[in-house]
Amino acid sequence: MKGLDPVTIASIFATAEHAGEKLVDGEDCFVLRIDVGPSVLSSWSDGTAEVIRHGLTGFFSHRSGLLARLEDSQLTRIQSPGAPAMYWETTISSSLSDYRPVPVSSDDNGGVAVVAHAGRSTAHLARFGVGVRAPRVVTRMEEEWTIDDVVFDVPGLGPDAFIPPEEVRRTRFYDAMAAGGGGGK
């Protein structure tokens, strides 16, 4: 599977279930769905907020195998002591396009990944509650986006953290000093 980040997309949907077929932007797609399990949902919850449901749906082109659309939805129940429960439902749908091959590394291995360079994302945020007089409130945001440059193995950028570029430069400087290299740029 390939997508915006092919390795991440493949690992996310590796255990997904087939959820049918659908036409997406004129492309015949197979649909894969993965829902977060109860133990993980419980770990995301705290005293006032309970994540009830979180799921991810991927629509993959039959022709190319590329990710055509990604939908992410979550339902959260929030209740402060003595107050009625409020529910927040968020849904983000992103259509991906303009796939191009991108070199994965700068060495001579010649590996490439096919990466989407454009798309459109729509986010819906809905608030509703039990016993609340106000009607369901929905906020919608939409964005078209493009990617100019794709770089893999960025120093300081990892799955768990982002180290600002200045700190990466400072660390390289001190590492060079410790190795006796003088630390020049």
Tell me the per-residue pLDDT of 13-48, one tens digit each, with 9 for 90 and over.
999 999 999 999 899 999 999 999 999 999 988 889
Query: Is residue 1 predicted with pLDDT exceeding 50?
Result: no
Do 110 and 102 meet the contact criterion of CB atoms below 8 Å apart?
no
Percent of the chain at pLDDT above 70? 72
Token pair for residue 1? Answer: 């599977």
pLDDT in tens, 147-159: 887 766 666 666 6
Tokens 């303009």, residue located: 98
Question: Worst-scoring range by mean pLDDT, 2-11, 32-41, 61-70, 141-150?
Answer: 2-11
Say which residues have a Cβ less than 8 Å from residue 32's Cβ, sequence separation at least 6. Answer: 13, 16, 17, 18, 19, 57, 58, 60
Mean pLDDT score of the chain: 82
The token pair that represents 136 in the structure block: 């369901």
Tokens encoding 144: 């078209």
Given this model, what pLDDT does residue 164 score? 66
Minimum mean pLDDT range among 59-73, 106-120, 155-169: 155-169
